[in-house]
Structure 1
Amino acid sequence: MTAQLLSFAAAGGVTLAAETWGDPANPPVILLHGGGQTRHSWQGTARVLAQRGWYVLAVDQRGHGQSDWAHDGHYSFDDYVQDFRGVVATLARPPVLVGASLGGLVGLLSEGERQGEFLRALVLVDIVPRIERRGEGQVRNFMAGNPRGFASLDEAADAVASYLPHRPRPDDVSGLERNLRLRDGRYYWHWDTRMMQSFAKGASVRERLEASARALTVPTLLIRGQISDVVSPEGAREFLATVPHAQFVEVPGAGHMVAGDSNDVFTEAVLGFLSGL
C-alpha cells in the first residue's frame, strides 16, 4: 500500500507535512508522533490500519520531520493544539486520534478543551497528565544533545542505542536517515531545538491536562510501556481513576517509545480498541 503525500497550512506561515493511507471515504484515524519523532514512526501501524478499513493520516508536527520550523520560534502547547485542530477541520467527520507522548498531550488538550464535537475516540500512547520528571528529563536531554550533529549515520545510531539500551542496535542503520538532515557534511536531528524551551514549561499545563482528563467522554485507551520511565504505574492508575471509562493496555518489555519497541503488540492493541467503537 503506497502512502499519499499531503500538506496542511498552519498558523504563522507553517506548512505541515503528512502522509495518508487508505480510502478517504473510510473512517479517519490520525497518528500524531511524540517530541523528536516524525510521521515515519507510524508506518507499520498505518499500513495495517488502512488494510483493516481505516483512512489513516500521519502528520509531522511543527518543528519536526518535513514540516516547517516555526519562523517565530513559537512551539507552545497551544500552537500544537491549533495545528492539530486545523488538520481535524479538513475532515468530513471526527477522527480517532492515536497520540504518542507530545501527540497524546496535544490530543488530550484538544479534546478536553473542545467546543462542540471533536474526536471520535482517543488513544494515549505512554502519556498521562502526571509525567515522571526523571523520564521527561532524559527525553529532553537526548533531544538537546549533540548540537553539532554527527559525522555519520553510525554515530547517530550509537547515540540512539545509548538512549534506548533495552532496544537492540540495528545492523542496518540506513532507516535513521529519515530522522536526520544532512547539512554541511554532517547529520542533524530532524527537529528544531528551540522547541525545548516550550517543553521545559510542560509542568505549567498540568492543571489543564488534568482538567482535560476529567472532561473526557469519548472512548479512550491508555497504552503504557511496561518499562516506561515517563509514565509510572501510579501515574497510569491515577489517570484511569480520573477517566473510569478508559481502557488500559500495558505492552511487555516496551519503554516510552512503545510503537518502536513492540510494534506488532502495539498495533494489535490499537486494532482491538478500534474494533469496539
Structure 2
Amino acid sequence: MTDADPRIRTQRFAGAGLSLCGDVGGDASAQPVILLHGGGQTRHSWRRAMVELITRGFYVISLDARGHGDSDWAADADYTFASLAADLEAVIATLPRPPVLVGASMGGATALYLIGNRQQVVARALVMVDVVPRLEAEGSRKIRQFMEANPQGFATVEEAADAVAAYYPTRKRPRDPSGLMKNLRRRDDGRLYWHWDPRFIASVRRAEPPEMARHMVDACRGVHVPTLLVRGLESDIVGQAGVDEFRALLPQLQVADVSGAGHMVAGDRNDAFNRSVLDFLHALPPDVAAAR
C-alpha cells in the first residue's frame, strides 16, 4: 500500500480547546483502534501498522498530538499529560464504543494516564509501545538532546536525515530521505524545521524521571483493562527493571519482546510489531474482538 491508499482519509477532530488532525480508515462499525505517536513524531509513523489493521478489519484513527504534525499548537504551550489525555478523551467521545489505545512512548503514557485517571471505561484495551512508568534515564536524556538539537533547522532534507542517522545509527538509512518531509516544514526563512512546537521541549524535560514515573505509577492503580507492552529488545529507554516494576503494578500485563528493534519498534520491525499487536487484539473476548 502507498500513501494514496483510498481506504484512508484525513479529517479534523475537536480536542480540548484546539483542533487535532488524524488519518481515519476502515469500517466505522468495527472495533476502533486509536494510534498515538511518540513525542516529536507525527501520525505518519504508524502508516504501515495502520494499513495492516485496516486490512484485518479494524476501524483505525491515527492522531497527530497537539503541537505535532498538522494538529494545532497549544496557545498556552500546555503539553502536559493531562491536556494530551483530555484531547484523546474528546476523540474517544465521538466513537460508538471504547477503542483499543495503541501508544508509542509519549502516546502510550498519554493513554495510560487517561485510562488510569477516569472512573468510566474509556478504552477496551491498551497497548504500550516501548514505554513503562520508570524509563531509563540515559535513554531519556538522549531523546531530549536530539529534540533540542538543530534549533536553526536544516538547509536540506539530507541534513535532517544526517541528524536522524546520528541519533539512531542502528537503523538502516533510507536511500531516499524524502519521506522525512512528513515530519518537516519549510518556514519563511527557507529552512526546514521539525514539524512540532519547539515549546514542547519544556514538557519533555518535565516528563523525564522521576516526574513521569510518579504520574504513571499513580495511573496504574486505575488501569484494569487488558494491557500489552511491546518492547524493543535493543531499546535504551525500557530496561528489565522497568518491565518488572510494570508487571508488579499491572498484574494483567502481557509483554511481547521484539528482537532487532530499539525504541522505535514499529519502524524497526513493523512485521513483528504488527503480529504482536494483532495476536493480542484477536485474543480479546469474542464479544469485543473486531472482525478478522
Q: TM-score normalised to the size of structure 2?
A: 0.92
The letter for the 2-side match of 1:117 is V
The letter for the 1-side match of 2:147 is M
Q: Aligned-pair distance for 1:206?
A: 2.2
Q: Aligned-pair distance for 1:205?
A: 4.1
Does residue 158 (structure 1) correspond to residue 165 (structure 2)? The answer is no
List structure 1 runs of 4+ shifted beyond 2 angstroms: 203-208
The letter for the 2-side match of 1:21 is G
Could you tell me which of 5, 10, 13 is aligned with 2:10?
A: 5
Q: Structure 1: state its 5+ residue gaps.
A: none
| 1:172-209 per-position Cα deviation (integer Å, ceiling 9, x unaligned) | 11100110001121110011110111221123242231
> Match of 1:41?
45
Could you tell me which of 172, 191, 206 is aligned with 2:213?
A: 206
Could you tell me which of 95, 98, 109 is aligned with 1:94?
A: 98
Q: Aligned-pair distance for 1:250?
A: 0.8
Q: What is the CA–CA distance in structure 2 between the aligned matches of 1:159 and 1:63, rounded to whole Å?
A: 21
Does residue 129 (structure 1) correspond to residue 133 (structure 2)? The answer is yes
Supply the RMSD in Å over aligned alpha carbons.
1.0
Q: Aligned-pair distance for 1:10?
A: 2.1
Q: What is the CA–CA distance in structure 1 between the aligned matches of 2:255 and 2:223, rounded to whole Å?
A: 15
Q: What is the CA–CA distance in structure 2 between the aligned matches of 1:240 and 1:165, rounded to whole Å?
A: 31
Q: What is the CA–CA distance in structure 1 between the aligned matches of 2:72 and 2:123, rounded to whole Å?
A: 25
Q: TM-score normalised to the size of structure 1?
A: 0.97
- DSSP-derived class of the 1:11 partner: coil
The letter for the 1-side match of 2:50 is A
Does residue 221 (structure 1) correspond to residue 223 (structure 2)? The answer is no
- DSSP-derived class of the 1:218 partner: coil
Q: Aligned-pair distance for 1:40?
A: 0.3
Aligned length: 276
> Match of 1:117?
121
After superposing the two structures, state which structure 1 stretch, 69-78 or 126-135, moved more: 69-78
Q: What is the CA–CA distance in structure 2 between the aligned matches of 1:236 and 1:162, rounded to whole Å?
A: 27
The letter for the 1-side match of 2:34 is I
Q: What is the CA–CA distance in structure 2 between the aligned matches of 1:185 and 1:201, rounded to whole Å?
A: 32
Q: What is the CA–CA distance in structure 2 between the aligned matches of 1:253 and 1:228, rounded to whole Å?
A: 9
After superposing the two structures, state which structure 1 stretch, 240-249 or 147-156, moved more: 240-249
Q: Structure 2: state its 5+ residue gaps.
A: 285-292
Does residue 28 (structure 1) correspond to residue 13 (structure 2)? The answer is no
